[in-house]
Amino acid sequence: MNTVVTGIGLISSLGKNLETSWENLILDRIGISLKQPFLELTARPLALIDEQPTNAIELTQLAVAAALKDAGLEPPLVDCGVVIGSSRSQQAAWEEIQKSKVKSQKKGVRSQKNLISSAHLLTCSPTPHSRFPTPDSPIPTPEFIETLPNAIATAAARQIGTTGVVLAPMAACATGIWAIAQGTLLINTGQCQRVIVGAVEAPITPLTLAGFGQMGALATTGAYPFDRYREGLVLGEGASILVLESAELAQQRAAKIYGQVLSFGLTNDAYHANQPEPTGKSAIAAIKQCLERSNLTPQDTDYIHAHGTATQLNDKREAQIIEYLFGRRVPVSSTKGATGHTLGASGAIGAAFCLMALRHQVLPPCTGLRSPAFDLDLVTAPRYVKVENTLCFSFGFGGQNAVMSFGRW
């Protein structure tokens, strides 16, 4: 059974809808600027949608609504599947809960000290229970259940009124493509005729920034994928939701079709928590799986949307893999120099850009690239060419390798 894409909802630092994001991408504009959303941390280049970090649930609802409108659909969609993932999900809410807890602890300790001092009740020293919030502590918001990792997917399910399959994948930076792959499988195996898929990321939190900073992975001025002077990644917010349908259902209702999901390849390095396997053998295996299942050869590929994080290790290994399998004949670009690295949402955003390339027959530029470090056909300006088949790469921490192919319908 053929699976096609009939709607896209995309929100990024380049724009709050698909059309604006795509237009700004083709114009080689950058959605990255120096920001300091948290006073306890130094200013860094970030790709924020608004002036302050966004809320993951609200971002999900906006992207889902945009995708449904684009597909010409309205809730309720009771039989529609949902596969929406995130690598961070509601981490921002967890951090706020912990911050409130710490404040409550400090308040409780001060109150106890005052009580002990005034009444001289030495027997009232703090007990192990003082680690927990007191009855007058502020109630954490949002509600605890809304902070669980599956909260984004279940919020989307409530929004569209489905009683069908709901999945919430988490696979680091490979989450977006993995979600689209799971949705495609649901359609190809006949479990669903329509599935809302994609990924959402609101990763601008103190812990995420501090963690990537400790790793030495963050850039200091901007993101420059595949550039000789690349510094590291820039964290970005974003959401990309696709409406997948069986070709039969899409044609029955005369839906607009962006393109076809041909197939995918999923593997794991089983090597290191945050470093890619040096030879790239499992990433190569994922690409070969995808091509074989799609009935494509490297020569049939018209464009590769690379993972291209602008880090030293990722770009070097990815360039070696592309050169090994495709040589210099396939145009390549990474859009993270414009949108920032949206972590789990990056593959779904890349998928949307691949579909727009198929629809408009133009390849997006590798924004931020000025001095190429690798002998590849890197797209440095919008390129108007015939585009029939595209590949989208995502290589996440933990060695998660995800590759997906899209074809013109």
Active site residue ranges: 173, 307, 341
**Cβ-Cβ contacts under 8 Å for 156 (sequence gap 6 or more):** 60, 61, 64, 82, 84, 196, 241
Rounded to whole angstroms, the Cα distance separating 90 from 58 reads 11
The CA angle 161-166-167, to the nearest 5 degrees, is 150
Q: Please report the sign of the dihedral spanned by the C-alpha atoms of residue 347, residue 4, residue 67, residue 388.
A: positive
Where residue 327 falls (left for φ over 0; alpha for ψ -120 to 50; beta otherwise) is: left
Answer yes or no: are the C-beta atoms of 146 and 140 closer than 8 Å.
Answer: no
205-to-38, 193, 212, 224, 339 alpha-carbon distances in Å = 8, 37, 11, 23, 17
The CA angle 214-84-173, to the nearest 5 degrees, is 30
Q: Which residue has the tokens 């029939």?
A: 388
Answer yes or no: are the C-beta atoms of 390 and 304 closer than 8 Å.
Answer: yes
The CA angle 28-231-317, to the nearest 5 degrees, is 90
Token pair recorded at residue 309: 């994080």
Rounded to whole angstroms, the Cα distance separating 364 from 154 reads 33
Name the residue type at position 66. A
Token pair recorded at residue 394: 């995502």
